Structure 1
Amino acid sequence: MRIRWRKRCETREERGPSGLSLLPWLLMGMGSLSHLVSGEAANPWLGMAGLLTFNTLYIAIVFRAFDRARRETTTTWALLGALAAVTFALAIGYGREWLLLFPLLGLALGAVARGGRQLRLLTLPLVVAVGAVTFWRDDWDSIGIVYGTFISTMVTAAILALNETVGELRATREELARAAVEQERLRFSRDLHDLLGHTLSVIVVKSEAARRLVPRDPAAALGQITDIESVGRQALTEIREAVTGYREGSLGTELDRARDALASADVEAVVRRSGPPLGPAAEALLGWVVREAVTNVVRHAAATRCEIAVRSGPERARLTVTDDGRGPSPALSGSGLRGLTERLAAAGGTLTTARAPGGGFRLTAELPAAEGGPVGPEPPHRT
């Protein structure tokens, strides 16, 4: 994720201002060129070579300044040092119009250093040195050059640093949005897996029961078909709630559904619950565990008895689902178990599985429980 974030930031930087935006400021050097052409300058060929060197270094620096990988290299700082040496040499040697090269030097420094530590360390010495040279060459008449050098350095650094920060914020926002979409997709896939797995299992079991009852007890078969219709309607409601993200499970509701599903599959259900009431989050999580575990028992365990025990205390709650069947299905061992484990881990809980004593399968879930008033133990329910 960090690599993608950096690439997005670099892409944003490339889309923003580039070195081309700083090239028009080279027109400030037209005064120096005019001074050479007029014939007033001593050693005009040396001055021309110096001006050409200055322009070449300036162009190279400003283009490197907009490439993050190259901006922070030693080569860029070496070029900036060479530009400073050439600028001071030309200003000291020629003065007058050549002093306008100092604001260009400040602009290059601001583009490279931006808001970094180097900017704070170099700006003041640069301004002091520029002030000394301009006062020596042109007395107080060029005091504006000192101010211009300081302003060009700080304003360029501030604008480019702000632009870079805005690009990073946009990239971070896009990354957070992408992560939120991924989390929502994961939540939705988990909910659909849990909802449809349980619902379809109940429908299959009740359909089989109805088919067996039709020859000898049509009324009972009709009751099973009515239950199938009810389960289907409830599934549609839950899927709509899952899509909108507002579904909150109820442990009590899931325990009732578990009894009904186990009874339809001819599995003896024993449900025990004791301890203080749980908070809504704990109720919802344990409800998902009950749903997934009972779905496994109904569809794959070939069990004749299933015991569900919920014990809650002041700090922790424990749910165990034990059957006498042949063990978990590949679905529960794979994506189903992994999804439950992730859900509980996110809430500070754990999920473990093991062979039950005397055969069968046991699933144990533990998680923190919200404090609540004590309630008496619920007697076992047998179906």
Structure 2
Amino acid sequence: MSLKHQTTCRMREWRDERRAREADRAGGTRPRRIRKKAGQIPEEIGPPNGFTLLPWLLMGMGAFSHLLQGKTSNPWIAGAGLLAFNSLYIAVVFRAFDKKLRTAPATLWSLGALAALTIALAAGYGGSWLTFFPLLGLATGAVVRGRVLGPIGLGLSTLAGVIGGLKEGWGAANIAYGTFLSVMVTAAILSLAETVRELRAAREELARSAVEKERLRFSRDLHDLLGHTLSVIVVKAEATRRLAPRDLDAALGQVADIESVGRQALTEIREAVTGYREGSLATELDRARDLLDAAGIEAVVRQSGPPLDPQSAALLGWVVRESATNVVRHSGAGRCEIEVTGTAERTRLTITDDGRGTGEDTPGSGLTGLTERLATAGGSLTSGPGPRAGFRVTAELPVTETDRIPA
């Protein structure tokens, strides 16, 4: 999937979520496509439920017909048994489609009672009453899961075959087969349906997580981009105001710089929106030097060590941009040193100023976001008072194996 397609999908998800929130606040109905994605409208057919297994009760119509025709001895006992069987069957199959209810003791006790009643009716009356064994198999397959399913299904089928053989002879052998098939097929189908629901829920959770990550990336990029850019524009505007009365050409140069910075900011914001933007350490060092010089702060930049991979250079470029902006806005410094050193194992960026010793290190600030970014890449970022005075920011990143391969 291309990056452009991913961006389009993310923007569509943001739009759908916004419309859903607006509909919820207004008390209206969500659009059909959003309700479908949220599971409020089934994609094709709804998930199976207790009603799915109710039509199989028609298998007991033979026993009910014999009861009405008076072909069953002790009709009152048989009628009570039939009513109890149907009640227990309905209760068990409806509880089977809720995971918590399915494993509850009440459900297991009801299934046990259903099994005892089935055995009693089949052994007492035989004939069409033997068809209750496959119904018991359906209820068992709906409730039982795991390794015990096979032994239980086999034992239940054997019991059905023995009782059927004693009551009806070899002609009732198909009851055993039907019982085993009911247990295993029902359990397989319902397990598959549960797996599909879990996978669908996991997919929705991953989509929500991806949207949240993209929102976080976008907010960080905007903070870093606009904070730096607006600081540069403010500094350039102040310089223009100071120079205009005595040096018009220099003031016009500052105005041209403001125009250039504004155009560059527009480009970077567009790139941030589409996810294409990758910073450059060298570019950010040049911009930081220009920003500090325009603010009247002496800038000293030193760089040594092996070349960096694009990802590491981009991360350190963000640190340079944020730190230089903080120096101009908060420190009141007269000198700022930016040093990049690299070894075979790690690359370190240190930014030190001689200002008031205050920096943007509060929770939720730009440096906090940069700390999270570097931690994701296996690096670290620390900030605090400098060794003598002022403020220091130190960022470290590990050198990957590919970086050690000579070009």
TM-score (norm 1): 0.92
Give the corresponding residue for 2:184: 154
Aligned-residue offset at 1:176: 0.2
Q: Is 1:283 matched up with 2:310?
A: no
Amino acid at match of 1:27: L
Say if 1:303 and 1:324, in contact at 8 Å, map to a contact too. yes
How far apart, in 2, do the equivalents of 1:204 and 1:312 lie? 34
Matched, 1:58 2:64: no
Aligned residue number for residue 381 of structure 1 = none
Task: Give matches, 1:253-272, under 5 Å.
Answer: 253-272=283-302
Contact 2:315 2:373 in 1 (8 A): yes
In structure 2, do the counterparts of structure 1 residues 332 and 295 end up closer, same or farther at CA, with 3 Å as the change threshold? Answer: farther
Q: What's the secondary structure of 1:222's corresponding residue?
A: helix
In structure 2, relative to structure 1, the CA distance for the partners of 1:283 and 1:267 (3 Å cut) is: same
Among 191, 195, 202, which residue is 2:221 paired with? 191
Q: SS state of the match for residue 117, structure 1?
A: coil
Q: Does 1:222 align with 2:252?
A: yes
Cα distance, 1:332 vs structure 2: 6.3
User: Among 64, 70, 92, which residue is 1:33 paired with?
Assistant: 64
Match of 1:80 among 111, 115, 138: 111
User: Bigger CA drift: 32-41 or 328-337?
Assistant: 328-337
What corresponds to 1:207 in structure 2?
A: 237
Percent identity, please. Answer: 65
| 1:81-96 pair list within 5 angstroms | 81-96=112-127
Task: Map Cα deviations across residues 106-135 of structure 1 (whole Å, 9 max, x no partner).
Answer: 00001111x423312311111111111111
- Is 2:328 aligned against 1:298? yes
CA separation of 1:88 and 1:297: change in aligned 2, threshold 3 A? same
Q: Quickly say closer, same or farther: Cα 1:317–1:127, change in 2 above 3 A.
A: same
* Amino acid in the other structure paired with 1:36: L
The Cα shift of 1:25 comes to: 1.0
- CA distance in 2 between counterparts of 1:367 and 1:332 reads 22
8 Å contact kept, 1:198–1:291: yes
Tell me if the contact between 2:358 and 2:390 (Cα under 8 Å) persists in the aligned partners: no
Structure 1: runs of 5 or more not aligned: 1-7, 376-383
Cα RMSD after superposing both structures: 1.9
Which sections of structure 2, spanning at least 5 residues, go unmatched?
1-37
Number of the residue aligned with 2:168: 138
Q: Alignment partner for residue 49 of structure 1, among 80, 83, 93? A: 80
User: Which residue of structure 1 lines up, in the alignment, with residue 4 of structure 2?
Assistant: none
Q: Structure 2: how far apart are the matches of 1:125 and 1:217?
A: 101
User: Which residue in 1 is equivalent to 2:339?
Assistant: 309
Comparing 190-199 and 331-340, the one that deviates more: 331-340
In the alignment, the residues of structure 1 paired with residue 115 and residue 86 of structure 2 have an alpha-carbon distance, to the nearest angstrom, of 12
Instruction: Summarize deviations over 1:139-186 as a string: whole Å, max 9, x none.
Output: 111222222111111111111111111111111000000000000000
Q: Aligned letter for 1:26?
A: L
Instruction: Tell whether the 8 Å contact from 1:277 to 1:374 is kept in structure 2 after alignment.
Output: no
Matches within 5 A, 1:364-383: 364-370=394-400, 371-372=403-404
- Confirm whether residue 241 of structure 1 aligns to residue 271 of structure 2: yes
Distance in 1 (alpha carbons) for counterparts of 2:339 and 2:231: 22
**Higher RCO, 1 vs 2 (CA within 8 Å, ≥6 residues apart):** 1
Distance 2:106 2:57 in 1: 22
> How many residues get paired?
365
- Distance (whole Å) between structure 2 residues aligned to residue 74 and residue 267 of structure 1: 75
In 2 relative to 1, CA 78–374 (structure 1 residues): closer, same or farther, beyond 3 Å? closer
State the match for 1:16 in structure 2.
47
Quick one: which amino acid aligns to residue 122 of structure 2? A
What TM-score, normalized to structure 2? 0.86
- Equivalent AA in structure 2 for residue 18 of structure 1: N
